[in-house]
Amino acid sequence: MGAKAKGRWLVVAIPYLWLLALFLVPFLIVFKISLSQDAIAQPPYFPTFDLAEGWAVFKENFSELSFENYGYVLSWDNEFIEAYVSSLVIAGISTFLLLLVGYPMAYAMARAPKSIRPTLLMLVILPFWTSFLIRVYAWIGILSPEGLLNQLLFALGLIDNPLQILATDTAVYIGIVYSYLPFMILPLYSTLEKMDETLLEAAADLGCPPLAAFWKITWPLSLPGVFAGCLLCFIPAVGEFVIPDLLGGSDTLMIGKVLWTEFSVNRSWTVSSAVAVLLLLVLVVPIVLYQNVQQRELEGR
């Protein structure tokens, strides 16, 4: 094998080894725990596999694994199904709001003079310089009944009683949109910034109105950035825990909170592992759809 072939093999092998060590192996461990049963022991599940006990004991323990926890999670007499549906709905609405807010901002950045684009890009990334937890806590001070927002509305004479925004789904939407907005803007900006502006000039010369030119030229060409931004926001929003826990109320049901409750409060590692595995399977669907869209686009080219 020549040096060039070895280099190619190494370039391909490193990402796969990374995925094997940091994704596949941890996933298999969680999947094995999800097939176990709760136990008052350390670790708090049974069976455990120890090759030192012999192959016969290993086979006996393996035979005790079951999908009972998955049946429990997917049954209709608990809150798991409702939590999954609620998480998907909240993440979907939040992603739509992020697209409505992020697309005009990314479009304006891409059409701004090149001299100020780096500054605008830095302003988008600037919130990442502050802790995510601190930024979410800041919204508590803004949205609470005695917070800055209600004080401003009182000062302007727009309300007589404080608005109850904190501990509602509205606060969760605000927190998600604020926290994930850079993840929507950056891929959109990257796509729009590379677009050939002469296409719009040609459309204008042919008498195409600006709005029609946007829908026929700009929007189709920006779809890769739209899909990438939506995935980058939707996938983590489905499993979000911090924002609904701090800004949402008791009626805000998301799978991240349910997962934390099962693991930390109920001390059920097996059920929480089953919830996590099913959540991963749910999130694989949009990833596969996105890959299919990209594959069709490449074949079209």
In our burial notation (b when 16+ CB lie closer than 10 A, e otherwise), range 118-140 reads eebbeebeeeeeeeeeeebeebe
* pTM of the shown model: 0.87
**Please, what are the domains in the chain?**
78-300 (1.10.3720.10)
Please tell me whether the peptide bond between 187 and the residue prior to it is cis, using omega within 30 degrees of 0.
no
51 SS3 class: helix
What is 198-256 written as a DSSP string?
A: HHHHHHHHTT--HHHHIIIIIHHHHHHHHHHHHHHHHHHHHT--HHHHHHS-TT---HH
Tell me the C-alpha distance between 274 and 67, whole Å.
Answer: 9
pLDDT tens over the chain, length 301 residues: 556 666 678 777 888 888 888 888 999 999 999 999 988 877 888 888 766 666 776 677 778 888 999 999 988 777 899 999 999 999 999 999 999 999 999 999 999 999 999 999 999 999 888 899 999 999 999 999 999 999 999 999 888 889 999 999 999 999 999 999 999 999 999 999 988 888 888 888 888 888 998 999 999 999 989 989 999 999 999 999 999 999 998 888 899 888 888 888 888 899 999 999 999 888 887 777 777 777 777 776 6
The pLDDT score that the predictor gives to residue 2 is 59
Angle between helix 148-155 and helix 132-143 axes, rounded to 10 deg: 30
The pLDDT score that the predictor gives to residue 301 is 63
